[in-house]
Amino acid sequence: MATKKHKPVRKSFLIFGSPRIEKAEIREVVATLRSGWLSTGPKVVKFEEMFKKYIGAEYAMALNSCTAGLHLAMLVSGLGHGDEIITTPLTFAATANVITHIGARPVFVDIDKHTMNIDPNLIEEKITKRTKAIVPVHFAGRPCDMDAIMSIAKKHRLLVISDAAHAIEAEYKGQKVGSFGDMSVFSFYVTKNVCTGEGGMVTTNNKDWAEKVQMYGLHGMSKGAWHRYSDEGFKHYQVVFPGYKYNMMDIQASLGIHQLKRVGNYLKIREKIWKKYDRAFQELPLIVPAPVEKDTVHARHLYTPLLDIDATDISRDAFQQGLHIENIGTGIHFVALHLHPYYANTFGLKRGDFPNAEFVSDRTISLPLSAKLTEADTDDVICAVKKVIERIFE
């Protein structure tokens, strides 16, 4: 714990995941406010067009969150009550929550400790007659082994819906991860590589599903607000599904259309920070993220070293608190889902069920990795990590 004499590395707190917002976004938001078209309108349509071209999908539907996208992707593809859906326990709760929302059962498969992604070698043993889909999560921006996953899905006639919340820029063997499988879902949350504050996108090549996602996302109406009130003339709507209020606003899209233009440049900045961290932490009791696999592009969303808790004899949580005292913000990605009370109690799960996910869960810490970071910021992160570890061994 800090004493009265303690002098932190930084005077001001370094916020974890603070986005880089530039003048173009601010001007666009102001123009949107002045236009009077604040909710779903022409800028959402523009953002969707830009995104589907970037990903290489035929359709892209913007929503108010990745969670909404996952929910609707499962709903429109026919998944529902009694179905089993395979995914990883090392993910954010939303991945599994939406499975329960549609009345299905999440079936967890342990990760590959090296990649931190779902281990394809363990998937088939979890497949039953109730299994209907696989939801791979491209953890931290590293593409899953899509060849293996798609082969298993084809063999067992399973849907593949990718949780690509971390993986906008990610590529697997020259192909964007958002163009694999049946649907992919992305996040534009405040910490993500493309930021709209809140927001998400579903990509697919299935026209029927695309139209249903769009309708379900706005109350189940046959025509959205943009189509009803545009200068093409008023059109009456019909409610064809019991939909949801999941639509993205033009205010959000105003950020996205400029963020997406810079996605490649921002990736280069994060790659530079990533390599700087790797070099700085080589001699420390930290396990740095594994090298990027050949023929893949890592989206570099999260930098997640693992604390060697056996060598340091302290917990990850104590290490995180030490960095907080030094005014360095961090994250935990993630506490494995089967260790959370709801999933443990509801599905009879316990520690020991997924040892690789637990290994990562107990040791992981996410350090600041944003295109907004300056050289001084990253120097402070490195200095703080070294300082906390030195204090451990005093």
- Is 192 known to be catalytic? yes
Please report where in the chains the tokens 């060697």 appear, as a residue: 308
Long-range contacts of residues 310-318, Cβ cutoff 8 Å, at least 24 apart: 311/285, 312/285, 312/389, 312/392, 312/393, 313/392, 314/392, 315/362, 316/362, 316/363, 316/364, 316/365
User: Would you tell me how many other CB atoms lie within 10 Å of the CB of residue 376?
Assistant: 10
Structure tokens at 70: 């996952």
Q: Which residues of 177-205 are buried (b: 16+ CB within 10 A; e: fewer)?
A: bbbbbbbbbbbbbebbbbbbebbbbbbbe
Q: What is the distance, to the nearest Å, from the Cα of residue 98 to the centroid of all Cα atoms in its chain? A: 14
Phi, psi of 109 (to 5 degrees): -125, 135
Question: Which of 43, 176, 192, 212 does the annotation list as catalytic?
Answer: 192
How many angstroms separate the Cα of 209 from the Cα of each of 61, 150, 218? 10, 20, 14
Rounded Cα distance between 297 and 129, Å, is: 35
How many angstroms separate the Cα of 57 from the Cα of each of 61, 200, 229? 11, 15, 28
Structure tokens at 216: 């379900």
Rounded Cα distance between 83 and 48, Å, is: 31
Question: Of 335, 248, 255, nearest to 72 (Cα)?
Answer: 248
Bridge partners of 303, per DSSP, are: 367
Three-state DSSP class for residue 133: strand
- Compute the C-alpha angle 87/88/89, nearest 5°: 125
Please report where in the chains the tokens 């089967």 appear, as a residue: 338
Active site members: 192
